[in-house]
Structures are given as C-alpha cells and as structure tokens.
C-alpha cells in the first residue's frame, strides 16, 4: 500500500507504533472504500486509542483524524481525555476547533467540543464565543447549532447586554428570520437585565405589530405575538391591539390565514366582537351563505377551510371540535 | 456589532433596490423561498398539463430503481462516504428500512452479514457504536436495533445484549433526567428519543430510565408550539417528532400542549406540499416523516387534545398543567416502580384506532414526495436541485408510508385507492410510527422481547 508522504507512517515519533488495521470481518456491509491517507491515519489512531495513550503524539494524531472526518465522536472524546491529561492550553484548542467549525458549521461534535471548552474557560471566553457565533450566523443566519451555542454561552457565561440589539439588527436584515424571533423571545424572557416578560410585553407587542403590518404574510411575528401571551389567554383577549391588528390586516385582505387564525384563537377564548368588528365580518359572511346563523368562530373556520385549502383537514377537525366543546 | 466583512451583504445593499425606493427589498428568506417555489411550481405545472399516460408515469413510485440504489449501497460505498465512517449503523438502517417499506426481502447471506457487522459494532459493555472499535452512542444504537428488528430473524433479535444495553443507557442518563448521546456527549431531545425508543422496543424500559425524561422534553416545547432540541432553542420538526414519540412511549403525552403542537406542525406544510422543518425555512423531503409522523401520532391522542383545548378555551388554568391527573397511569408508575409495563404503551398505541382522520394534507404530501423527491436513477432527495442520499431515501419513503395509511382507522388496514396518490402499486408497507420500523417486524420483535 502506498503511504501518503506526510502520513503518520512517516512520522518519526510514531516509529514504534504498530498500526491496527480496520476490521469489518470477512463479509463487510456498508463498506466504505477508504482512501489510503484516511485508512493510514485511522489505523494509527486505533493503535493509540486501544492503549489509551495520552500524549502529545496522540493529540497530534487526533487532529489528523478529525480533519479527515470531523464527525468521528470517538476521536473527539479521546482528544478531550488527552487535553485534560496534558493540561493543554484550552485557548489554543478553541482556535483549533474554530477553524474546523468554519468548514463544518453543521457538525454536532464540533459544537459540543466548543461547549466543553467554553465551560472550562469560563466567563472570560464569553465575548469571543459570541463573536464566533456571530461570524457563523453572518454566513447562515439560521444555523441551529450556532444559535444553541449562543444561547448556552449567554446562560452559562453571560454577555446579555447587547443581545436584544443583535436581534433587532438581524430582524432588520431579514424580518422573516424565525431563529432571530426565537432568540428575541429567549432574550426577553430569560435575560437577567430586562426584568422579565411582563415588564417588556407592552413594548414587544408594539414592535411585533409593526412587523406584522409591514409583512402580514410573515408567519414569525404572528407566532411571536401569541407567544407574548403564552399561558395568559385572558390578557390576550383583553389587549385590544391584538384583535386590532387582526382586523386591520383583514380589512386589506380577508384571506390572510394568519390573521384569521389568530382571530379564531381570540374568539375561542371569549373575544366579544364590537359592532364595528362584526360589520367587518359581514361581507365575508355574506359570501359564505352557509354561515348565516353560525357564531363568529365557526364563520372564521368556514372561511379558513376555503382560503387555506392545504389545511382543510385541520380546519375541518377544528370546526368539529369547537362545536363539541361549546 | 457589524457582521463579518466576509459575509455577503444583505439584499438591502443591492444598488438596484436602493435606486427605486418603491421596490420592497426582498430578504434572504424570501429570495430562497421564491427559488424553491419556482422549481417546484415548474414540476407541478408539468404534471397538471401532462397527458393522462404521462401523469401516471410521473406519479409512479420508481420501486426498482430505489431498490437497486439501496441494495447497492449495502455492499459498496465510495470514498466520499468516509464522512459517515462513524455512522455506519445509520447507513444500514437508511437502506434496510426503506427496502422493507418497499417489501423487498434481503437474501440470507446479506442479512447474516448485517447481523455480524452490527455485532462488531456492539460494545462489550453495552450499546452500539458508529463502527467497530468506536464508542457506543445512543443514535447508532437506535439505528442498529431498528435494523436488527427490521431483519427480524431469531438470530438478529437475540444478538442484542439487553442487559448490557440497559447498563449503557443508565450510564448515559444525566441528573436532569435527560440522556447524553455518548460518554461525555451532548444532551438533547434526540438522545431522549433514541434511548426511550430502543428501551421500549427491546423491553428494558423501566422507571429508572424513564424518570425525568418527560419533564425534560416538555421543557423543550417553545412558544411556537413545536419542540426544540434543548430548552429555549427553536421549534424544529426533527426534535418535535422525537419529543412527541418519546412522550407517548412514556405515556406522558399530556405533558406538552398538544393543540399548540398540532397547530405548529400543521402550518409547516407549505405551498410546495411538503413540510418545512422550521417556520420560514425551506421544504425538505425528510420532514415528510419527522413532521408527517408527528402530526399523524396526534390522531390517536384526541382525547387528551380535546381536554387540553377545553381547559385552555374556558379561561381556566392554562393547558399542560394537569400533568398528573389526566394520566392516571403516569402517576401510578411512580408508586409501583416494578409494575409498569412500558413496552405495552408502544403496543397499545398501535392497537388503538385513529380517533380522527389526518390533520395534514396527506395527498399533497405524497405529491411532493413522488414528484419532487424521487430521483430517476433511484433514491430520494431533499428537494429538486439537491442530490439523492440514503438518509433522504429512508425518510421520504417513511413519510410516504405514513401519509398513505393516515386516513385509515386501524394501523394495518389496507388504504383505499383514493388515499394512495398514483397507481395503487405505490403502496408501501405500514410502519409503527413511534419507532419507525415496519409494523409486521415490530410485532415479531414485541413477541420476542416480551418473552424475555
């Protein structure tokens, strides 16, 4: 077998190591046609892993193995054991894993390794980690791992001061970014600096309504708006701005599914329609003669069955359930 | 605060848009969505405009091609697959399971070789790893066990060392009640599901393994209604399936706000007819299973759903707080630790009839899978423009099966022709949606492991 020039078989420090070949047995299944350089690195890795050697040469070997396959969680695990045994410079290690993360931003093992390191490095590393996730999110603003890591760093190591502003910025760039809305929810409910949901709810409602009116077809702020009143259906119904935005949007476009859906929630929770609001429903009601005597909630269900055909099964079930419940 | 200089500037910097203030600036999300809608729209227009003969061919499930693609992979994978060198039981499952869905038997030699290979992946102290000599991992354990159950022979099922498997799982349990994926590994809802699913399937699930899991999963339900990987992360289809399925296996489904969950999943089906994984993200064939199965599961939970809806709409205590009282079995479990037959929850669930029809558009979903996910040369993919792979082949076909059977009252009754898009020969084998193994194979395993 030809060995790669710079592969482990040519490293003087590994001269005494006998590589352990891959063993799939006599009749392999899902066999991968490994390239020579891959095979060689993993054969040497296996040799040191089996003996549990925690040395600088083992560390160097894990780096090779990781670069070939960053998804090998066994190699990462072994690397962590070596790092601990050698009391290695963890800031250096952060730099190492950062480089790998940039090329593999959706790999679980890499992000888990970063979390492990950050936990050991403590609050001092918080800013650097936020810079890092920000860099990743600038390329892909919805990277799930990056957001999870960012949330973990905030909760474990801090850095809340500028997070709401960061959400503002991301939403300015892309108001459809649901990850940014989710982060916003996280900040307003979990930040130790803002006082909690009840304190900021009022201003958040205004912010969200503005976003809705700018893009009524954007699902994110509608869900966020409901989220602001999670577990508080009474308050949701009592806040006139909520029914207000529904009707404002419906006046322009009575087929807006999100507005109808929120209106339905409100009606089910006891919203009483003012005469003005009832009259808004009139033209819709008259073009659906089957709703002549129905209560407003049922009327809205009927409209939804027609104008949201993809969800006709869902709305039909909902309508049937409503009549049973009331 | 400024984004990295290497990032692409947001479309707001586009000089054309800046020149005309009347033109709304399109965001990245909108642009990407429009591109996909255009591609999918072209395909559907071709279908609707086609002659009846052409239509039938377009809507056909290209069984032979998929079988060839999947079977080939079992005996050979190119060098590029080295990135999955720590996921080889997954590769087994992603091929063996869809072949079973297509009702394609494997020859005996191949079956025995798979059993032998997975035995090499079984750690001496329990659990299965990503390959021989690697660390045992809950996800690869799930894949290995599901593969063995799909093979279903006595030899396959008895190769699982259940005692050690239990010990491995117990070691993976965290103080919070959740599970780590591997020694020193990450904690998330996937780990909870893979552990509970396997434990239930091989009948080693007990109170010690079960405790705290339901509460952890419930803490991962977001304001949107879906479930996230960890508390406060974004609602996501994969984690929503994992969370809900695990809860059902624990008989703790009432711990989440089901109406809210259903409402979120229902809205993940978009104009493309397939499912997206998260709000305002792109459609992807694999969510045909993650989201499709999640919402299909709720067809058997309507009693709890109705109860929660009633209490939330009557302005009393918010739904979800009645955890203990709505599931008497769940409470009893705490008192009589050895008396809970957890495996039976999985069995009873599938025996139970659907209380309602599908809450998603099952025909539209089939349309997406058949027209947009299938690849002519065999295999299935995320969306047009992406390459096929075994993972998507597995989950697109799993999703196809779920939608074909979703309108039936009982899990294994034969769907009517109107429930199956395309020729009736498109019909796949039914699955047990909590474990995602073919239903017949599940029953064989259930009998085998209940004797143990």
Contacts 24+ apart (CB under 8 A), B384-390: B384/B39, B384/B40, B384/B43, B385/B39, B388/B69, B390/B70, B390/B73, B390/B91, B390/B94, B390/B95
Q: Is residue A260 part of a domain?
A: yes
Name the residue facing B117 among A29, A71, A178 (closest C-beta): A29
Q: Which of A44-48, B95-99, B191-195, B331-335 has the lowest mean pLDDT?
A: B331-335
Percentage of chain A modeled with pLDDT above 90: 88
- The answer to whether residue A284 sits within a structural domain is yes
Q: Which segment of A60-69, A98-107, B296-305 scores lowest on mean pLDDT?
A: A98-107
Domains of chain B with CATH codes:
43-310+344-451 (1.50.10.20)
Chain centroid offset of residue B130 CA: 20
Query: What number is the average pLDDT over the span B221-239?
Result: 98
Residues sharing a CB contact under 8 Å with residue B24, sequence separation 6 or more, in sequence order? none
pLDDT tens across A94-122, in order? Answer: 999 999 999 999 999 999 999 999 999 99
From A71, A88, A105, the end of a domain falls on A88
Residue A174 pLDDT > 90, yes or no? yes
- Tell me how far apart the alpha carbons of residues B196 and B143 are, in angstroms, rounded to a whole number: 13
Residue finishing a domain among A44, A61, A88:
A88
Average pLDDT over residues B286-301: 98
Q: What is the DSSP letter of A9?
A: G
Q: Supply φ then ψ for residue B60, to 5 degrees.
A: -75, 145
Examine the pLDDT at B8 and tell me if it is beyond 60.
no
In a mutagenesis test of the A interface, which of B91, B219, B238, B280 is the best target, namely the one with the most A β-carbons within 10 Å? B280
Classify residue A221: in a domain, yes or no: no
Q: pLDDT value at position A276?
A: 75
Rg from Cα positions in chain A: 28
Q: Per the domain annotation, does A22 fall within a domain?
A: yes
Share above pLDDT 70 across residues of chain B, in percent, rounded to a whole number: 89
Q: Does the pLDDT of residue B7 top 50, yes or no?
A: no
Nearest to B29 among A135, A177, A190 (CB): A177
pLDDT above 90: residue B412: no
Give the mean pLDDT of A190-206: 97
DSSP B380: E
* B135 and A73 Cβ atoms separated by less than 8 Å: yes
As a whole number of angstroms, the distance between CA A35 and CA A53 comes to 26
What is the mean pLDDT of the segment spanning A122-142?
A: 97
The answer to which of A199-208, B331-340, B342-351 has the lowest mean pLDDT is B331-340
Percent of chain A with pLDDT over 70: 98
- What is the model's pLDDT at position A5? 61
Query: Which of residues A69, A88, A107 is at a domain's end?
Result: A88
Which of B132, B183, B364 has the CB atom closest to A23's CB atom?
B132
Chain A: residue whose CA lies nearest to B318: A231
CA distance to partner chain B, nearest, from residue A46 (Å): 8
Asked whether residue A321 is assigned to any structural domain, the reply reads yes
- For chain B, report the end-to-end CA distance as a whole number of angstroms: 60
Does residue A106 carry a catalytic annotation? Answer: yes
> Helix or strand or coil: residue B431?
strand
Q: Where do runs of H (alpha helix) occur along B202-236?
A: 207-210, 213-218
Helices and strands of chain B, counted as H and E runs = 22, 4
Q: What is the pLDDT of residue B20?
A: 59
Residue with tokens 């032998």: B116
Q: What is the mean pLDDT of the segment spanning B446-450?
A: 97
pLDDT value at position B315? 53
Q: Which residues of A touch B96 (CB under 8 A)?
A: none
Reduced 3-state DSSP string for A139-160: HCCCCHHHHHHHHHHHHHHCCH
Nearest-angstrom CA–CA distance, B177 and B153: 34
Q: How would you classify the pairing of strands B388-389 and B431-432?
A: unpaired
Which value, in Å, is the radius of gyration of the alpha carbons in chain B? 22
Q: Of B79, B83, B236, which has the smallest distance from its Cβ to A144's Cβ?
A: B236
Where do we find the tokens 């960890």? B230
ipTM of the shown complex? 0.96
pLDDT confidence of residue B409: 86
Q: Which residues in chain A have Cβ-Cβ distances shorter than 8 Å to B135?
A: 73-74, 77
pLDDT per residue over B362-389, tens digit each? 999 999 999 999 999 999 999 999 999 9
Count CB atoms within 10 A of the CB of residue A91.
13
| pLDDT at residue B346, as a whole number | 97
| pLDDT of amino acid B330 | 37
The catalytic residue positions of B are 236, 278, 281, 284, 286-287, 382, 389, 392
Q: How many domains does chain A have?
A: 2
| Burial (Cβ within 10 Å: 0-12, 13-18, ≥19) of residue B15 | exposed
Range A71-100 average pLDDT = 97
In a domain, A166, yes or no: no
How far B184 CA sits from the closest chain A CA (Å)? 7
Q: Which long-range contacts link A161-167 to residues 24+ away (Cβ below 8 Å)?
A: A161/A193, A162/B1, A163/A187, A163/A191, A164/A188, A164/A191, A164/A194, A165/B1, A166/A134, A166/B1
Domain with A240 in it:
231-325
Q: Are B273 and A324 inside 8 Å of each other by CB?
A: no
CA distance A312 to A301: 10
Measured between beta carbons, the chain A residues lying within 8 angstroms of B267 are 219, 311
Helix (H, G, I), strand (E, B) or coil at B374: strand
What's the confidence (pLDDT) of residue B18? 47
A278 occurs within a structural domain: yes
- Average pLDDT over chain A, rounded to whole? 94
Chain A residues with CB inside 8 Å of B186's CB? Answer: 108, 111-112, 115
In a domain, A201, yes or no: no
- Whether B10 shows a pLDDT value over 80: the answer reads no
The rounded mean pLDDT for chain B is 91
Q: What pLDDT is attached to residue B22?
A: 65
pLDDT at A158 over 70: yes
CA diameter of chain A:
89
For residue A143, pLDDT beyond 50? yes
Find residue A32's DSSP bridge partners: B77
- In angstroms, the CA B130 to CA B143 distance is 10
All residues of chain A having their beta carbon less than 8 Å from the beta carbon of residue B313 are: 233, 268-270, 325
Catalytic residue among A5, A95, A99, A106: A106
Mean pLDDT of B2-28: 55
Q: Which residue in A258, A267, A270 sits closest to A223, CA to CA?
A: A258
Residue B452 — pLDDT band, cuts 50, 70, 90? low
* Closest chain A residue by Cα to residue B29: A176
Cβ(A122)–Cβ(A92) below 8 Å: no
């Amino acid at each position: 077998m030809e060995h790669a020039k710079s592969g482990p078989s040519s490293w003087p420090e590994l001269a005494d190591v006998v590589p352990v070949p891959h063993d799939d047995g006599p009749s392999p299944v899902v066999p991968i046609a490994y390239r020579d350089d891959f095979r060689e690195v993993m054969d040497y890795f296996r040799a040191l892993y089996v003996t549990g050697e925690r040395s600088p040469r083992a560390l160097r070997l894990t780096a090779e193995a990781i670069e070939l396959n960053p998804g090998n969680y066994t190699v990462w695990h072994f690397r962590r054991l070596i790092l601990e045994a050698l009391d290695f410079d963890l800031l250096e290690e952060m730099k190492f894993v950062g480089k790998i993360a940039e090329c593999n931003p959706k790999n679980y093992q890499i992000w888990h390794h970063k979390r492990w390191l950050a936990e050991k490095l403590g609050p001092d590393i918080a800013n650097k980690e936020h810079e890092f996730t920000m860099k990743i999110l600038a390329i892909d603003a919805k990277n799930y791992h990056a957001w999870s890591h960012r949330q973990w760093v905030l909760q474990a190591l801090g850095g809340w001061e500028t997070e709401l502003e960061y959400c503002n910025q991301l939403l300015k760039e892309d108001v459809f970014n649901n990850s940014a809305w989710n982060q916003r929810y996280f900040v307003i409910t979990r930040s130790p600096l803002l006082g909690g949901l009840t304190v900021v709810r009022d201003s958040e409602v205004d912010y969200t309504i503005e976003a809705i009116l700018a893009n009524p077809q954007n699902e994110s702020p509608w869900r966020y708006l409901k989220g602001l009143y999670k577990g508080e259906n009474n308050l949701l119904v009592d806040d006139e701005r909520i029914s207000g935005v529904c009707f404002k949007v419906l006046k322009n476009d009575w087929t807006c599914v999100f507005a109808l859906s929120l209106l339905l929630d409100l009606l089910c929770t006891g919203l009483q329609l003012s005469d003005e609001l009832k009259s808004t429903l009139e033209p819709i009601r008259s073009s659906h003669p089957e709703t002549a005597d129905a209560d407003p909630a049922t009327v809205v269900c009927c409209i939804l069955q027609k104008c949201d055909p993809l969800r006709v099964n869902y709305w039909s079930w909902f309508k049937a359930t409503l009549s049973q419940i009331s | 605060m400024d984004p990295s200089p290497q990032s692409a500037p947001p479309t707001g910097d586009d000089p054309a848009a800046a020149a005309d203030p009347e033109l709304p600036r399109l965001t990245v999300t909108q642009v990407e969505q429009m591109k996909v809608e255009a591609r999918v729209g072209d395909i559907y227009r071709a279908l609707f405009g086609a002659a009846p003969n052409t239509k039938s061919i377009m809507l056909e499930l290209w069984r032979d091609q998929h079988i060839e693609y999947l079977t080939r992979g079992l005996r050979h994978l190119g060098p590029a697959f080295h990135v999955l060198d720590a996921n080889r039981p997954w590769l087994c499952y992603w091929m063996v399971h869809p072949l079973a869905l297509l009702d394609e038997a494997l020859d005996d030699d191949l079956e025995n070789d798979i059993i032998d290979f997975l035995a090499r992946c079984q750690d001496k102290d329990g659990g299965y790893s990503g390959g021989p000599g690697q660390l045992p991992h809950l996800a690869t354990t799930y894949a290995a066990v599901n593969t063995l159950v799909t093979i279903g022979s006595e030899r396959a099922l008895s190769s699982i060392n259940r005692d050690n498997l239990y010990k491995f799982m117990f070691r993976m349990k965290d103080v919070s009640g959740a599970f780590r994926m591997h020694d020193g590994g990450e904690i998330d809802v996937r780990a909870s599901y893979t552990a509970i699913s396997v434990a239930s399937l091989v009948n080693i699930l007990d109170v010690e393994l079960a405790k705290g899991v339901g509460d952890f999963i419930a803490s991962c339900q977001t304001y949107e209604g879906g479930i996230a990987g960890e508390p406060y992360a974004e609602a996501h289809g994969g984690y929503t399936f994992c969370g809900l399925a695990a809860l059902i296996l624990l008989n703790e489904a009432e711990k989440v706000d089901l109406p809210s969950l259903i409402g979120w999943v229902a809205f993940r089906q978009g104009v493309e007819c397939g499912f997206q994984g998260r709000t305002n993200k792109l459609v992807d064939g694999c969510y045909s299973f993650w989201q499709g199965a999640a919402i299909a599961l709720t067809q058997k939970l309507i009693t709890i759903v109705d109860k929660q809806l009633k209490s939330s709409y009557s302005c009393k205590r918010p739904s979800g707080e009645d955890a203990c009282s709505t599931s008497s079995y769940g409470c009893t479990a705490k008192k009589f630790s050895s008396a809970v037959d957890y495996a039976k929850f999985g069995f009873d669930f599938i025996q139970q009839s659907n209380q309602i029809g599908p809450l998603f558009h099952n025909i539209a979903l089939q349309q997406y899978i058949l027209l947009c996910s299938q690849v002519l040369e065999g295999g299935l993919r995320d969306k047009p423009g992406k390459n096929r792979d075994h993972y998507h082949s597995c989950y697109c076909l799993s999703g196809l099966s779920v939608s074909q059977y979703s309108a039936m009252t009982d899990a294994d009754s034969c769907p009517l022709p109107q429930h199956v898009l395309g020729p009736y020969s498109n019909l796949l084998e039914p699955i047990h949606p909590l474990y995602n193994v073919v239903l017949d194979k599940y029953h064989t395993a259930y009998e085998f492991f209940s004797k143990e």
